[in-house]
Amino acid sequence: MASTVTSEPSTNSPAASRPGYGQLLRTRGAWTFLLPGFAARQPFAMLTLSIVLLVQHTTGSYGAAGAAAAVTGVSMALFAPYSGRLADRHGQRAVLIPGVLLHTASGVALTALALAHAPLWALFAAAVPTGASVPQVGPMVRARWGVTLKGSPLMTTAAAFESVTDELTFVVGPLLATALCTAVHPAGGLLTEATLTLVGGLLFAAQRGTQPPVTPAGHARVEQASALRVPGVRVLIVTFLGIGSVFGGMQVSLAAFTESIGAPGLNGVLYGVFAAGNMLSGIVCGAVAWKVAPQRRLLVGYAALALAASGLWAAHSVLLLAGLGLLVGMCIAPALITGYTLVEGLVPAGARTEAFTWLTGAVALGQAAAVTVAGQLEDRVGGGAGFLVPMGGTVLALVTLVALRSRLVAPVRERTVARGVGHREPVAVD
């Protein structure tokens, strides 16, 4: 039976008139899932690089290492949405526990096969379950914010906070993986990744109080329809594929550029500048009380991203590339934050974890494709040709976004009204 709803936030909402990180972090129960969630999502940023460093050490081939890492990334992108849908249907805990156990076992198996100099097909066979079972903790944390802050203007702040957290993991994770693989043991990064996944994932799963409720069986047909059926989600997937092309294209092209000038050590510095720009704009974006509609913010922000990314291929100096990288990074966070914010209005609560995992998987898939294409361009053409990938990916996504922008408008859901005034059949709303 549908219930009467109002558009005003709850009176006991943790939000005040102006959103802020202080208010967000004082939200009751937030730290119980934030701390274990941070530990459990850290491996997400360690996995690809750990595989590359380990397989390159054991095979002597960057091609084989990149292929094994790409198999892992594609597997994660393909299976992540189904993991999210199962979490919506059966609860996060029911999906996380077997997932982290499978991921840990697969990661250890991949490590053992690489150290035993197994053939490449065997590494691929282990890489598939390793990628497919990566726990989607980031989307699960976002889903928990959606429950904790329901009806609160702090949702945009929470989306910004999660974007900043993601970027922090992509700063710390690669540094940790590199240090472990080079200073301790080539397998140190992958084994640490598996350990953090196991410990952090189980601790996160233990936090039942903030877990989104499972949709009752009677509402399963409405609430648990695939998030992919929502037109706006499909538009956002294309948008996030373009963002993934920036991450993948930058990783390969910056490495090729710094090697070409005889300063490979600058690769980490330049990528760190790019990530710092992302973090900085994410922090600012979350602290602003936006009055502009998110659809318009996404269009403007993505246009700025495509414009900035289009200039990367023409940069031939370290300082210019650092400046453009900073600008590109500053354009990514607003697009990510706004995209995740739009999900709240486009997708019913019972399918949001799946929707978030579709977007996360789109970034991973775009990154895997961009790494492959940019690598081929750098090998065959050189001269910074790999930077054409971020330009092409963002421009194509922008064209799609502009053409289909009307699909990003949340549908008007019917509400039950008193005294039988409404003539349409009541529909349950979130």
**How far is residue 251's CA from residue 274's CA, in Å, rounded to a whole number?**
10
Beta-carbon neighbour count of residue 375 at 10 Å?
23
Same domain, 81 and 160: yes
pLDDT value at position 123?
93
Q: Identify whether the C-beta of residue 341 lies closer than 8 Å to the C-beta of residue 294.
A: yes
Query: What's the number of domains the chain is made of?
Result: 2
Domain boundary residue among 184, 214, 244? 214
Same domain, 78 and 207: yes
Give 200: exposed, middle or buried? Use CB within 10 Å, 0-12, 13-18, 19+: buried
Give the position of tokens 């903790």.
137
pLDDT value at position 425?
41
Same domain, 135 and 245: no
pLDDT value at position 98?
92
> How far are the Cα atoms of 44, 52, 64, 193 from residue 177, in angstroms, in the given order?
11, 10, 19, 8
**How far is residue 257's CA from residue 383's CA, in Å, rounded to a whole number?**
8
Same domain, 100 and 175: yes
Give per-residue pLDDT as tens, 254-301.
878 887 888 876 777 787 788 788 878 877 876 676 778 888 899 999
Helix (H) or strand (E) holding 272: helix 266-287
3-state secondary structure of 118: coil
- Residue 267: CATH number of its domain: 1.20.1250.20
Domain boundary residue among 152, 181, 214? 214
Same domain, 144 and 250: no
User: Pick from 188, 183, 173: which is nearest to 48 by CA?
Assistant: 173
**How far is residue 302's CA from residue 332's CA, in Å, rounded to a whole number?**
8
pLDDT value at position 417?
40
**How far is residue 250's CA from residue 332's CA, in Å, rounded to a whole number?**
13
Q: Two tokens at 372?
A: 């492959």
Q: Identify whether the C-beta of residue 177 lies closer than 8 Å to the C-beta of residue 50.
A: yes
Q: Two tokens at 139?
A: 């989307």
Is residue 428 situated within a structural domain? no
Q: What letter represents residue 390's amino acid?
A: P
Helix boundaries (H) for 182-226? 188-205, 220-223
Same domain, 247 and 315: yes
In order along its 430 residues, the chain shows pLDDT tens digits of 333 333 334 434 443 445 577 888 888 878 888 888 888 887 777 887 788 778 878 887 766 777 888 888 888 878 877 787 788 788 888 888 999 999 999 999 999 999 999 999 999 999 999 988 888 888 888 888 877 777 677 777 787 787 778 767 766 777 787 778 878 898 998 999 999 999 988 988 888 777 777 765 544 444 456 777 888 889 999 999 999 899 888 877 887 888 788 887 677 778 778 878 887 887 787 667 677 888 889 999 999 999 999 999 888 888 999 999 999 989 988 888 888 888 877 887 677 777 888 888 888 788 878 877 887 788 778 788 889 999 999 999 999 999 998 888 876 554 434 444 444 444 443 3
> How far are the Cα atoms of 81, 221, 251, 364 from residue 130, in angstroms, in the given order?
16, 32, 22, 14
Is residue 346 situated within a structural domain? yes
Q: Quick one: CA torsion of 82, 83, 86, 88, rounded to 10 degrees?
A: -100
Domain boundary residue among 191, 214, 237? 214
Same domain, 260 and 189: no
**How far is residue 41's CA from residue 135's CA, in Å, rounded to a whole number?**
8
Is residue 219 situated within a structural domain? no
CA 339 to chain centre: 11
Give the position of tokens 């928990």.
144
Is residue 426 situated within a structural domain? no
Same domain, 264 and 165: no
Angle 348-350-353 from CA coordinates, rounded to 5°:
95
For 294-317, what is the HEC assignment?
HHHHHHHHHHHHHHHHHCHHHCCC
Q: Two tokens at 8?
A: 């005003």
DSSP letter at 206? T
Same domain, 298 and 390: yes
Same domain, 405 and 269: yes
Give per-residue pLDDT as tens, 149-168.
776 777 777 877 877 787 67
Helix axes 30-59, 188-205, angle to 10 degrees: 160
pLDDT value at position 15?
38
Beta-carbon neighbour count of residue 177 at 10 Å?
27
pLDDT value at position 3?
38
pLDDT value at position 298?
92
Domain assignment of residue 151, given as a range? 33-214
Same domain, 205 and 304: no
Is residue 222 situated within a structural domain? no
Same domain, 73 and 150: yes
Is residue 4 situated within a structural domain? no
Q: At 5, phi and psi to the nearest 5? A: -130, 160
pLDDT value at position 224?
54
Is residue 423 situated within a structural domain? no
CA 351 to chain centre: 17
DSSP labels for 10-54? PTT-S--SS--HHHHHTSTTHHHHHHHHHHHHHHHHHHHHHHHHH
Q: What letter represents residue 330's amino acid?
A: M
Is residue 323 situated within a structural domain? yes
Sign, CA torsion 340/346/352/355: negative
pLDDT value at position 12?
41
**How far is residue 204's CA from residue 187's CA, in Å, rounded to a whole number?**
26
User: Pick from 68, 26, 36, 397: which is nearest to 238 by CA?
Assistant: 397
